[in-house]
Chains A and B, each alone.
Chain A
Amino acid sequence: NAGVTQTPKFQVLKTGQSMTLQCAQDMNHNSMYWYRQDPGMGLRLIYYSASEGTTDKGEVPNGYNVSRLNKREFSLRLESAAPSQTSVYFCASSEGLAGGELFFGEGSRLTVL
């Protein structure tokens, strides 16, 4: 039982390059989330998916797109990376009436040069 798995764990990009962060959960959760955390800051919600087939913007969606591929997988795409997107990205999932109990992955550390 791996919980929430994120890939890659580390990535360095050049400005303008694109990439996709992958997230998968094996807990059969309906809801999934993408957060970013900048140094010394709390986490900010980028996008979320309340259930399979739906996605919605969070607090800081600009520059990102998401895909809820199936119930298990929720990917985050940077179409044209910018240095301001240098951050640690966390994926999380939750289920039902325990919707506030988020299970987080270990994070993906992205540097944009």
Chain B
Amino acid sequence: DAKTTQPPSMDCAEGRAANLPCNHSTISGNEYVYWYRQIHSQGPQYIIHGLKNNETNEMASLIITEDRKSSTLILPHATLRDTAVYYCIVGRLFNAGGTSYGKLTFGQGTILTVHP
């Protein structure tokens, strides 16, 4: 699986957009970009994923560059509760026994601090 590079930490003002970058220059054509976050010591929480196109859901938007070598997670209106470690992960799906699964590798992520 391709490796990712993220800044160790970022700050954001409450109410502003948080833009978290991720580099994945060795990504393969069948690998997805996944974003998760981990608040304090809780279990990680899935945010969003994409293959080629930009994606948006109720939590965030994912912008993937045309060459797929980097992406940006956007939290449009950050709140204090968005303070967390954000993980950018590149991985592909495997098939076995009629089902698909992912073996995702979590790096150290970006510590996002949202301040008042």
For residue B33, which residue of chain A has the nearest CB? A100
A-B residue pairs in contact (CB < 8 Å), sample of 7 = A30-B97, A33-B103, A44-B105, A51-B99, A99-B94, A104-B44, A105-B43
| A residues less than 8 Å from B46 (CB atoms) | 101-103
Contacts from A to B (Cβ < 8 Å): 4, 30-31, 33, 35, 40-45, 48, 50-51, 53-54, 58-59, 88, 90, 92, 94-97, 99-107
For residue A41, which residue of chain B has the nearest CB? B108
B106→A94 contact, CB < 8 A: no
B103→A45 contact, CB < 8 A: yes
Interface size class of B (residues with CB under 8 A): 20 to 34
A50→B97 contact, CB < 8 A: yes
For residue B107, which residue of chain A has the nearest CB? A42
B87→A42 contact, CB < 8 A: yes
A99→B41 contact, CB < 8 A: no
| B residues less than 8 Å from A97 (CB atoms) | 93, 100
B97→A42 contact, CB < 8 A: no
B106→A107 contact, CB < 8 A: no
A99 and B106 contact, Cβ closer than 8 Å, known pairs A104-B43, A107-B43: no
A92 and B43 contact, Cβ closer than 8 Å, known pairs A42-B108, A97-B93: yes
User: B36, B41, B94, B102 — which one has the most chain A CB atoms within 10 A of its CB?
Assistant: B102
A102→B100 contact, CB < 8 A: no
| B residues less than 8 Å from A48 (CB atoms) | 101, 103
